[in-house]
Structure 1
Amino acid sequence: MSRPAKAIVFAYHNVGARCLRVLLAHGVDVALVVTHQDNPDENIWFERVADVARDYGIPVAMPDDPNTPEFVARLQALAPDFFFSFYYRLMLKPALLAVPTRGGYNMHGSLLPKYRGRVPVNWAVIHGETETGATLHRMVEKPDAGEIVAQQAVPILPDDTAGEVFNKTTLAAEMALDRVLPALLSGTAPHVMPDLTQGGYFGGRRPEDGRIDWTRPAREVHNLIRAVAPPYPGAFFELRGHRIKVLGSHSLRLPDLEWPGAAEGFGGPALMSREGRLFARCGDGGIVRITSLELDSRPAHPGDLPSRLGGNPISLLP
């Protein structure tokens, strides 16, 4: 009987935890799990891969840099067949990728070659995509550019938040890996080169990138709000000396909603409360309903916001 395939797994987040379990379910010998120390400044809303590994008695390493000669030598001594990277946040450089005899594979949270790079789910929501998914691909020096071996698509509904879509892509990652792993282990999985001209590379995002520009179209504003809604930092704006964080919204068509006109000083973007609900008119005249918010870091009922700030409606122009 041949020995089981031996793998070293680089993993973090929910995708890392679920995909590690898939490898174990298929009998892969996971010799080591490489993961991250949790950042005390980050909202840790996801499962810890280190806890899963320890539950299964798998050794865990948390190097600041896995590409050091000393750590590369440690992994060489384990003689792995495969590397798997599941939402591990550091790049594996060529010397490290040369260690596994049968190659290294990464799970990416988009339908490659679209949305290569960082936070692909958030970028997909920001751009109003109606579909995304997960892709297992061979790791090469260039990020997210290697041969594709499996993909699983999931829908993005019009009001889905990035957190909700991330949950879908976690399941998509599990499904894609579970489906292709027998063929990958047997050496029969297809490897298809992606056409990188059909996608783009995106960088990371910062909390300050969530600032709302109400002069933009309503759909664009709504996409930003849902792309950074909790568990992410949230979209925000300042009004009358207060900082308002918008945590949830719906994009609506309300042609019968009457707004004061330009003669009253409300010809552009504005907030208005009606029957306990808060609406924002954006730069294209489209309407966004704000369903959840914080006022100066404290939860507030959206419909009460205009009166608390001294007017209804309130202009959102500078």
Structure 2
Amino acid sequence: MTGRAVVLAYHDVGYRCLSVLLAHRMDIPLVVTHRDSPTEQIWFANVASLAGSHGLPVAYAEDLDDAALADAVRAAAPDFLFSFYFRRMLPPATLSLAPRGALNLHGSLLPHYRGRVPVNWAVIRGEGQTGASLHYMVAKPDAGNLVDQMAVPILPDDTAGDVFRKVTVAAEVVLDRSLPGLLAGTAASRPMDLVKGSYFGGRRPEDGRIDWTRPAADVHNLVRGVAPPYPGAFTVLAGRPARVLRTLSASRPTARPAGTVYAEGDRLFAACGDGRALPILSLEVDGNSLDAAAFRKLLGDEALASEPGRS
């Protein structure tokens, strides 16, 4: 059995999940995506290009207010409405235009990490796993009945980018294995217990400021949770702007004050608030990447973070 679907999609998850729908030969009368922002680093696949290569009509969310979007969906007369990393909440009136269901793929193991940037939050909070969840959309974000989900591990030195790639694959698998049941009308779903879950808001680049008084594990989790392609964790060393882009979880004892970044042999370390030092794999000062030798030449054997800030 086939189905007709309006797809609202963006980012890698949107690209891969649209690919799944195409592989299942779904009738897609409309794809709604976002224009890439000139202020955002675009490192992910383009949904509009995929849709265009298959001759699918494309509209941009930035051109449509809620009423216009509802009109476009209504005109497309879909059975299903799918949202894949679409950056806008849909009002209940729009959701109701899909008689066989409006579904969303979320990048966490719902009901945990409902809300914004769930992969980054899971890494920053030191979780050992996350995943992808397919659920029905309701007025409350990420709260409708759960159809399926798949877990992926978060390894101790995984960055948010590493984890996002795993979550993208999990999203593809979950959608692919759920579609036959959805199309046949036999897919089971279950309510979420939101009391047992969690909700997080968005993050801003300035939230990446390192608080060196925190334990080494917390600093490491922040660094990897905002590591490139995200804006990166930052501090100030000897009055110079600096970004700590990669660290290792294998910290070691140190007597140096928290916030001291130092060279030892051919390696760099950063002292944290619990008396442990993180190995630094990638450090930028004044926009320039520094290894241990370049660090010594610029700052000496060690430099103290003058603005420890907050994480």
TM-score interval, normalised by the smaller of the two chains: over 0.9
AA aligned to 1:196 is L
Pick closer, same or farther for the CA change 1:277–1:121 going to 2, 3 Å: same
Query: Following the alignment from structure 1 to structure 2, what is the Cα–Cα distance between the partners of residues 303 and 284?
Result: 27
Moved more, 167-176 or 281-290: 281-290
Pick closer, same or farther for the CA change 1:214–1:144 going to 2, 3 Å: same
- Equivalent position to 1:202, from 200, 203, 214: 200
**SS of residue paired to 1:252:** coil
Report the equivalent of 1:106. Answer: 104
Pairs aligned (count)? 307
- Equivalent position to 1:169, from 167, 170, 195: 167
Q: CA deviation at 1:275?
A: 1.2
Report the equivalent of 1:281. Answer: 271
Instruction: Give the gaps of 5 or more residues in structure 2.
Output: none
Residue-by-residue CA offset, 1:85-124 (whole Å, 9 max, x unaligned): 0000011111111111111000000000000000000000
Report the equivalent of 1:52. Answer: 50
Report the equivalent of 1:300. Answer: 290
Pick closer, same or farther for the CA change 1:198–1:52 going to 2, 3 Å: same
Asked whether the equivalents of residues 236 and 306 of structure 2 are also in contact (C-alpha less than 8 Å), the reply is no
Asked whether the equivalents of residues 130 and 151 of structure 2 are also in contact (C-alpha less than 8 Å), the reply is yes
Query: Following the alignment from structure 2 to structure 1, what is the Cα–Cα distance between the partners of residues 306 and 290?
Result: 22
Q: CA deviation at 1:83?
A: 0.2
AA aligned to 2:240 is H
Structure showing greater radius of gyration is 1
Query: Following the alignment from structure 1 to structure 2, what is the Cα–Cα distance between the partners of residues 167 and 190?
Result: 27
1:180-191 pair list within 5 angstroms: 180-191=178-189
Query: Following the alignment from structure 1 to structure 2, what is the Cα–Cα distance between the partners of residues 218 and 268?
Result: 10
1:264-275 pair list within 5 angstroms: 266-275=256-265
Identity of aligned residues (%): 56
Instruction: Tell me the TM-score normalized by structure 2.
Output: 0.95
**SS of residue paired to 2:248:** strand
RMSD over aligned Cα atoms: 1.5
Q: CA deviation at 1:63?
A: 3.0
Instruction: Tell me the TM-score normalized by structure 1.
Output: 0.93
AA aligned to 2:113 is Y
Asked whether the equivalents of residues 3 and 79 of structure 2 are also in contact (C-alpha less than 8 Å), the reply is yes
1:19-34 pair list within 5 angstroms: 19-34=17-32
Instruction: Give the gaps of 5 or more residues in structure 1.
Output: none
Pick closer, same or farther for the CA change 1:317–1:286 going to 2, 3 Å: farther
1:219-230 pair list within 5 angstroms: 219-230=217-228
Query: Following the alignment from structure 1 to structure 2, what is the Cα–Cα distance between the partners of residues 74 and 308?
Result: 58
Report the equivalent of 1:312. Answer: 301
Query: Following the alignment from structure 1 to structure 2, what is the Cα–Cα distance between the partners of residues 180 and 272?
Result: 51
Q: CA deviation at 1:70?
A: 3.1
Pick closer, same or farther for the CA change 1:72–1:78 going to 2, 3 Å: same
**SS of residue paired to 1:34:** strand
Query: Following the alignment from structure 1 to structure 2, what is the Cα–Cα distance between the partners of residues 252 and 287?
Result: 9
